[in-house]
Chain A
Amino acid sequence: MSTERVSDIAMVHVLLVEPDKQLATMYARGLRAAGFAVAVAHTAQQAIHAADDQCPDVVVLELQMAAHNGVEFLYEFRSYAEWQAVPVLICTVVPEDVAQIDAASRQLLGIAGYLYKPTCSLAKLEQTIRQLPDAGDMTAPAQDVGRRISELDELAIVSGEV
């Protein structure tokens, strides 16, 4: 591994939004061991506060959370101009065919990837983060996001059918 790549990885700040404390601890330990800086949030509100403290380079997001789910978090997160270009990697217990997030919504919300958590190892998560394209490639132009969010049809909510 080249020095340049190690320094690049060390600069990546990950905001991990994971409601289960045990899983959050394990993912954070694994990512830190891989050289990422990690901030952990267990709720949508905590995640907004954490992003406010330090703007993340990437968000790893569980959709299924208490009170405010990951979709609601994502809407709020994208409403802030300074966070509109931050790539979000969904890592969730909700199967992709249940969440039903279409391609247009993915691009609008800057969803860089979708990982099914039960079968997502730490190594796979780490690899996926490293392979994320540049943040600027991920989302619609910042000035369009706020307007288009209001026009977006509702995404499938995670509390639907199993």
Chain B
Amino acid sequence: MGYDDQGDRLLRSVAEHLKLPLMQIGRMAEVGALPGEAMAMLPAIGLTAERAVRLIDGYLLGVRLRDQPTLALEPVTPGAILLDVVQELRPYARQYDCGLDVMLSGRQHMVMTDRAVLAAALSCLGQVFIEVMPAERAKKVVFAAYPRGNDALVVGVFGAGAAPLLGADGLRRARALYGSARQAFPTLSDGNGAGVFVADQLLSAVASPLRAVRHQSMAGLAARLLPSKQLQLV
């Protein structure tokens, strides 16, 4: 499938997804008009609008990367990015009564990647997980980085409640469905999971596409990042 097809599918997916924050803002504005509700609604409207803009920015970053002849790779400490993303997402997670955690295991190599790409991908991915974690379970989304093999560092987003619902087959089917089906992860999400595919596009641009993985009894989506050989020699 050529990029234009994929690009169209991703654009359709993002466009469809953006109805949700706009609906939320519309309803929040209506509730804000009720007596005594305005002050409670204003921060929520702001957060919702910010998340929508971040998704759009993630999508546009992926489009720009396609046209760039070179990538701005640099040594990056994934743990620091995870902490920044969690800090950014925490207010939004509170709206969904969802806890966030950072789990850094083993030796945390520095990796060569595009910092903005990794941050945007984790942000978009984290947002999806916050929204879809099953309501009946204790909602917690974990941003984790752990070594795999001799060199690689796996960095991704996990949810304890997603364990029985997300796997390699599910991700493969979702990649075939997004942009045409209303629900790319029908057993996991009522939405179309656009944030997952924006993250996938971004990480694929740095040769680290998303994989369905399991870590400490949690299921999640993560990218395998390779360290800089030169940094290892230092």
Contact = CB atoms under 8 A, between A and B. Distances in A.
Contacts of A118: 19, 22-23
Contact of B181 (A22, A62, A160): A160
A66 B170 CA distance: 14
A20 B183 contact: no
Contacts of A29: 31, 34, 37
A13 interface: no
B51 to A, nearest CB: 10
Contacts of B191: 20
Interface stretch (B66-74, B131-139, B140-148): B131-139
Nearest to A123: B30
Interface string A13-26: 00000011111001
B23 A161 contact: no
Interface in A75-90: none
B180 A161 contact: yes
A128 interface: no
Interface in A52-79: 62, 64-67
Given A30-B30, A30-B31, A121-B30, A23 B23 contact: yes
For chain B, the bracket of interface size reads 35 or more
Nearest to A161: B180
A36 interface: no
B189 to A, nearest CB: 5
B183 to A, nearest CB: 5
B180 A162 contact: yes
B186 A66 contact: yes
Contacts of B12: 162
Nearest to B185: A66
Contacts of A162: 12, 16, 179-182
Given A160-B181, A162-B182, A122 B189 contact: no
B190 A19 contact: yes
A158 B182 contact: yes
A123 B26 CA distance: 12
B168 interface: no
Given A21-B97, A161-B180, 18 more contacts: A20-B20, A20-B131, A21-B96, A23-B20, A23-B24, A29-B34, A29-B37, A30-B31, A43-B134, A62-B190, A64-B182, A66-B185, A66-B187, A118-B19, A121-B26, A158-B183, A162-B180, A162-B182
Interface of B: 12, 16, 19-20, 22-24, 26-28, 30-31, 34, 37, 44, 48, 95-97, 131-132, 134-136, 179-183, 185-191
23 contacts: A20-B190, A21-B96, A21-B97, A22-B24, A22-B48, A23-B24, A26-B28, A26-B30, A29-B31, A29-B34, A30-B30, A30-B31, A42-B135, A66-B185, A66-B186, A93-B20, A98-B182, A117-B23, A121-B26, A121-B30, A159-B181, A159-B183, A160-B182
